[in-house]
Chain A
């Protein structure tokens, strides 16, 4: 304890004059000097606690974080690149056992998918025609920017990735990140040249989604493992293994209809409101190399604007009552001893 508090100086036989001989400021500075280790620890801990509590929403990273990223990312890429190259070399040239059989299976699957594709194209033509008729605009023409994954999460607890595009490419915190396979996550922090992505498997992630087949709604929740949970699926909802989950478009991040994953397990219990649904994400985050950031931040409607039609309706109604003939306003009051009809 003496070592921590810096009291070893007592043992070194220094002469310390009494408080009465010194000014208060001198005494204070000496006191701080003596306890500077615990004081520094407490101050730094307070800064960390405040940082953890205040900045939980997606936000641009500060100068300190930007400097650390700017310093470490090139080094990180330099260190990680040979490892990934060796891993790719192994997977692409050495580890080819069973490739012939897999090739045959895939060829048969391609044939089947081509037939399916033909049918879908027909359906799409019909849908397009209907959309034109109803004046519906296709919202999938979203502006996107491609980015490479340059860093993975160092800890065993969180599941974020770092990409090589940032604010200069128009990326802002809160934007959705996808690949051709499905949802990756949301931009949680940005610097000028890089951005941090909170993936859907991170324990801090939540995505509102629904099951494509049965339209059952719920929320996909990350759990720091390779699987994610589909929460709030009612027990009576029809959920089966292999069902595809799509984003619902509710909330301010993801557009509607992007694939989140497939149901891998369902644990229905005889009690409780909800069933436990496990989902395998559509995107393999361990092999993620390139992503697309949707450069459109979906803002929720302003509460005042949102309330305006109702307010108008209400004021319109009160105006109408005020301007109404006397017999109607009298009729609006309940008759004595009875209920108003």
Chain B
């Protein structure tokens, strides 16, 4: 229960930090809730991570004007794919993690533009708007994600010691003691 509370607290901190960042111009606004969702994909307790990613995505839906469920779906998908790609891309290193987050911010922007196109037709952002958003948002989010990686790994480490998290060693997962 306590790790869950800690993780929820971490999500709440990301959400409140996002509130502070909402004062910045939109093109300079990093997406900390996305970083949180990606970090949840690294956890030793996959289902807890998935629920939290969907949950804080939903909170983002409530606090923004998006169709209810849009951010939840995107953040949940980010978490699930991170879990899938964790070992294949060696995401527990700072540089791969930063590159992965940068790629996700780009993908997220394109997905959002696609969803907006489906929902609002003519008002979907054009390529000019997307290109204006990307150059600053992508590196800023990736930079902020790097110091957060040890935090996510620390939360996951206890579960890894207990054998609940797939090991990174080439010999496969460790068995329970």
Interface residues of A (CB under 8 A from B): 1, 3-4, 6, 8, 11-13, 36-37, 40-41, 44-45, 47-52, 55-56, 61, 64-65, 68-69, 72, 75-76, 79-80, 83-84, 87, 151-160, 162, 188, 196, 198-199, 202-204, 221-225, 231
Docked complex: B111-126 residues within 8 A CB-CB of A: 112, 116, 119-120, 122-125
- Closest chain-B Cβ to A226's Cβ sits at a distance in Å of 9
- Neighbour of A80 across the interface among B19, B47, B133, CB < 8 A: B19
Bound state CA distance, A6 and B66, in angstroms?
Answer: 33
Task: Assess A204 versus B60: contact at CB under 8 Å? Given A44-B54, A83-B23.
Answer: no
Task: Assess A37 versus B60: contact at CB under 8 Å? Given A156-B137, A224-B125.
Answer: no
Task: Assess A37 versus B63: contact at CB under 8 Å? Given A3-B84, A11-B172.
Answer: no
Residues of chain B within 8 A (CB-CB) of A222 are 123
Tally A-B pairs: CB < 8 A.
Answer: 165
Residues of chain A within 8 A (CB-CB) of B124 are 203
Query: Is B173 at the interface (CB under 8 A from chain A)?
Result: yes
**Inter-chain contact A162/B86, CB cutoff 8 Å:** no
CB closest chain-A residue, reference B66: A158
- Neighbour of B19 across the interface among A1, A64, A79, CB < 8 A: A79
Interface residue SS majority, chain B: helix
- Closest chain-A Cβ to B132's Cβ sits at a distance in Å of 9
- Closest chain-B Cβ to A119's Cβ sits at a distance in Å of 40
Docked complex: B32-54 residues within 8 A CB-CB of A: 33, 46-47, 50-51, 54
Number of interface residues of B (CB under 8 A): 56
Query: Is B69 at the interface (CB under 8 A from chain A)?
Result: yes
Docked complex: B67-112 residues within 8 A CB-CB of A: 67-73, 76-77, 80, 83-84, 86-87, 112
Bound state CA distance, A83 and B19, in angstroms?
Answer: 10
Bound state CA distance, A84 and B71, in angstroms?
Answer: 26
**Inter-chain contact B68/A52, CB cutoff 8 Å:** yes
Task: Assess A159 versus B65: contact at CB under 8 Å? Given A40-B47, A48-B72, A76-B16.
Answer: yes
- Closest chain-B Cβ to A78's Cβ sits at a distance in Å of 9
**Inter-chain contact A155/B66, CB cutoff 8 Å:** yes
Residues of chain B within 8 A (CB-CB) of A13 are 175
Bound state CA distance, A61 and B62, in angstroms?
Answer: 9
- Closest chain-B Cβ to A59's Cβ sits at a distance in Å of 9
Query: Is B2 at the interface (CB under 8 A from chain A)?
Result: no
**Inter-chain contact A48/B69, CB cutoff 8 Å:** yes
Bound state CA distance, A15 and B83, in angstroms?
Answer: 26
Residues of chain B within 8 A (CB-CB) of A48 are 54, 69-70, 72-73, 76
- Neighbour of B33 across the interface among A41, A154, A162, A204, CB < 8 A: A154
Query: Is B64 at the interface (CB under 8 A from chain A)?
Result: yes
Query: Is B12 at the interface (CB under 8 A from chain A)?
Result: yes
Docked complex: B159-177 residues within 8 A CB-CB of A: 166, 172-173, 175-176
What 8 additional pairs, Cβ within 8 angstroms, besides A50-B69, A72-B16, A83-B23?
A: A3-B83, A4-B80, A52-B69, A52-B70, A56-B119, A68-B59, A153-B22, A156-B27
Bound state CA distance, A45 and B123, in angstroms?
Answer: 25
Task: Assess A156 versus B116: contact at CB under 8 Å? Given A80-B23, A203-B124, A225-B129.
Answer: no
Bound state CA distance, A37 and B76, in angstroms?
Answer: 12
CB closest chain-B residue, reference A228: B123
Residues of chain A within 8 A (CB-CB) of B5 are none
Bound state CA distance, A48 and B51, in angstroms?
Answer: 13
